Structure 1
């Protein structure tokens, strides 16, 4: 099954140089393939798990396949930074760390390599994963006390412990990956790359279990961007122990959303965006020019593999989302259960109707006006929000366009490049049944603040809900890749036909290395 999925991708094989020494594009490509394949395997196994009750690990299967097939990068072990991996990057699976060369062991917390000293070789540590697996671990903003390997008996100065001791004397840099509780999955973790550290001292002491344990004090090298420190600061904002600097409103939505959305400006003195009515819904001023999609007649929740569920069958026989509302892949259209379906509001096939799932803030950018970002880490494929406002026809959109630099218009009639595309998989571009245009100038939700980027981290997905009264089409946004906290959320605004290429063109300030220099 896994082999069949993999073969369908027609993947690019890395040349030797990129396999052993990657860059940002290589790392991004490997992680994109990892997450697409993992989600597809999880979707297929969803049905088996529902019937057998067995728990499976699609992440391990995916990692093993990619490593075997050579879809990996930075395979050569090294001391110091890994090409293409930035401080603050996040991961949701240990196998992701393996495939990009950040931390090779899929289980062990210490990664090490041998170096030659005169005629002999000795181990040195190159990376550690600090995730609170040992009861004695202590962390701080710019340092941590790490417990050596070996839990149930006295630890020995061998393997990873010996490598850490040798690194203390050599003074080499060690990559530190912090394991953090995943707010979206109580049993899972988020792994954040926190930069380079050095071991400052070590000692042997009695642990809480009564066994002798090695302890290593590590200090973070100065001059590096904040990562774990930012995450801890966000937790304090949430707990109310400190106040977010520059906050204007604690909740821009006035309770309209499931989670508050802060309004923040720590750049200048502007007190907020132009007045608008916050509304989480899309309203049609007149009926859409299509027949309704009626939906399903399931009495309970729509379960994976249910051949009698009309919504599941319209989606090709599978639920379009796996656990936690993560979309499997971009589709021309997704069929969700809706008002006319008999399943409950908690049905897994109502992802876009459940409100916000991550804590967002509207913030003042340095050069693009107001933008949107998240306090929480976001995993690839996660649902962000829908685009709310008023559905208008194309002629009205042309009238609105250009009247205001911040026109807050979503234009589905433009041309959009499929963003999760792999070679041989080019048929999943959004395909709207009619040119849906949404005006969010006077009324809308957080989506009106999502800025354009030529290298976006979000994609939009048409969602058709089961509704016997009207054609119920919506636009939902999902994450293309993992998005660290406090990273601006962006999507591509699309391209206009050649005959309109000179109308409404604006200078782009997205800052991407692949920036076109303009957008519409």
Structure 2
């Protein structure tokens, strides 16, 4: 069971302006600096500040949600019980689809009420043009300690589901914008899906960790986790500022009138910053012009004072690095690199000749490897693998050129080269009778639109956005195929194009083989097909008698239903039931022919889902098993699937994989409490 520790600082602490005293004379004679948060480079001008009173999508009153509920206090039948308190608000929030935001009318009860709110206390709000003030963040400073394995899994699941909602909503906003453009409705700016998704979630009370200001680790967020947008950091409670590099509890909120810093973003926005990985010299905020040039002296106030006070009290800060990354939808990535201590603070003359405050941050020990270091390692592996890993590579193309991109085989543990003994199978082999089903395709010539024949087979919409990301999981997806007249560049041809990332099958020291990528995989991206030789039910019975490894598609968990599940946002959301699929009454033999997917481990909290797809035939009883990313998967992080219930039919693959992933989970979920250098109250 975890504990919340209330950080009750000394009521009469030493003078907090010691550093400023030495430079009082200088500051008095200099130009008054520009007082603003330390801003970091952004991809585009942001439309809303973090605590804006306005909202680009909805004008609904916003309230925080209670995210830190100990596992034992959560309704076992619904880990999202905290969200159910605002279900009535969801019901009335959306009158139409995403393109009708400015026309919605809603009636919102008090979302934080534990018991139903009387009708007379309910707020009737017209979304446009009226605006409601969002609730401010909590001023209660806490640290979460001693989380057990079950608590860690619970919070990890909450974070995963919240991020899936964010990603699904963001992709949906962009897709709706694309549909409007295809219909001739062209606006000046493209939709900022990251901003709109976060705004909707904030108005629904789906932002995490708003009821407590957490110092140290955020439950459910692991070192190395990657985010593509600054707003997503706000959504999960990692960093509460949209542009400011220092997130801190302000002096007006603090119980003793002193600000306390909780997290920083390091992205090279200040010329005096020095980043050596484990040691950072971080420059304070203030005194910059619009071109991020230092023009006047900084003052010891706001975030600067918060950093100094965190040093004084020995409070750790979270460090998130912002890095440029090719292929990112924002042009950057933000990776959580762990906890640092502020060991020194001093006033110095910067490169521009003006006074700046500098803070020396040193990474705390016994943490996983920094995510930014892994990103750098993966980048080097993509260009010069032999130099980075002179030993261990068995082959640089396990697929023997059958995939678009080579698949590496890596083993620096023993001499086992087992994957080399199988014939690599890039796509599934179906019985000949499967292709006897005739059919017709779309007649689109230049490219498919949302009113073409194939879109109608998918329920009136395509499954992918313009970037090839899965918008919403479905029982079955129809892609354009050989019957269609559209070109290969058609956006409804995604999975049939094969692998697009650099993967390696690697040997695990614990139990067996696994799969990881050298690339950062964006949530919703296609990974690969789970291939094998399809057997009918009668054939499968004969093969199992020989002890061959068979995979039964009907036993994969329906994780596709989680991707794009916006039931927490839309009250009328229904799980997709079209196109309908009969029970999959076949098996796949992977005992002699297989691809990289067969080496993916089993996990009850997977980062990969199985989506059924048809493209080269129309027999719905024999779909392809296509794999998509359920979350942003950092480079060199193992890929995992939920194979469903384990039984005697699953064979050796599931048994060995299951042991391996559980072993890794148990190691990753271990947490220990950190020493607290000031009085505390354990809740």
Structure 1 length normalisation: TM-score? 0.84
Query: Which of 448, 453, 456 does residue 603 from structure 2 map onto?
Result: 453
User: Does 2:225 align with 1:84?
Assistant: no
Structure 1 residue ranges without an equivalent (≥5)? 4-10, 516-520
1: distance between equivalents of 2:238 and 2:219?
A: 9
CA contact (8 A) 2:516 2:635 kept: yes
2:119 is aligned to none
Q: Counterparts of 1:106-505 in structure 2 under 5 Å?
A: 106-114=242-250, 120-134=256-270, 137-149=273-285, 150=288, 151-152=292-293, 153-154=295-296, 156-157=298-299, 158-185=301-328, 187-201=330-344, 202-207=346-351, 213-227=356-370, 228-240=372-384, 241-243=387-389, 245-273=391-419, 275-288=421-434, 291-303=437-449, 305=450, 307=451, 309-401=452-544, 403-404=546-547, 407=549, 409-414=550-555, 416-421=557-562, 422=565, 425-427=574-576, 432-433=581-582, 434-465=584-615, 473-495=623-645
Match of 1:316, SS state, is coil
State the shift of 1:115 in Å. 6.2
Q: Secondary structure of the equivalent of 1:324?
A: coil
Cα deviation code 1:69-122 (max 9, x no counterpart) = 211221121221112222112222222211221111122221011469999522
**How many angstroms does 1:377 deviate by?**
2.3
The partner residue of 1:67 within 202, 221, 229 is 202
CA RMSD of aligned residues (A): 3.6
Say which is worse superposed, 419-428 or 268-277, in terms of deviation.
419-428
1:280-300 C-alpha deviation (Å, 9 max, x unpaired): 222223121773443212111
**C-alpha distance in 2 between matches for 1:427 and 1:117:** 45
Q: Is 1:45–2:177 an aligned residue pair?
A: yes
State how far apart, in whole Å, the 2-side matches of 1:194 and 1:79 are: 15
* Residue 231 to residue 415, structure 1, CA distance change in 2 (3 Å): closer
Cα distance, 1:513–1:425 mapped onto 2, change above 3 Å: farther
Counterpart contact for 2:480–2:493, Cα < 8 Å: yes
Cα distance in 2 for partners of 1:100, 1:17 equals 22
| CA pair 213-403 structure 1, distance change in 2 beyond 3 A | farther
Structure 1: distance between partners of 2:455 and 2:606:
30
Q: Is the 8 A contact 2:249 2:261 kept in 1?
A: yes
Q: Which residues in structure 2 correspond to 1:27-38 (within 5 Å)?
A: 27-38=159-170
Larger Rg: 2
Q: Deviations over 1:309-351 (max 9, x none)?
A: 2112222332211243210121011111122322222222111
Q: Which runs of 5+ in 2 are unaligned?
A: 1-55, 59-79, 86-111, 115-136, 139-143, 145-153, 568-572, 667-683
Give the TM-score, by structure 2 length.
Answer: 0.65
Find the aligned partners of 1:115 and 1:267 in 2 and give their Cα distance: 54
Aligned counterparts of 2:604 and 2:176: Cα–Cα separation in 1: 33
Cα 1:447–1:213 change in 2 (3 A) is: same
- The structure that is strand-richer by fraction is 1
Q: SS at the partner of 1:347?
A: coil
The alpha-carbon deviation at position 363 of structure 1 amounts to 0.8
Tell me which moved more, 15-24 or 93-102: 15-24
Deviations 1:187-208 (A, max 9, x none): 422221110012344443444x
Whole-angstrom distance in 2 between the partners of 1:281 and 1:95? 38
Asked if structure 2 preserves the Cα contact closer than 8 Å seen for 1:49 and 1:55, the reply is: no
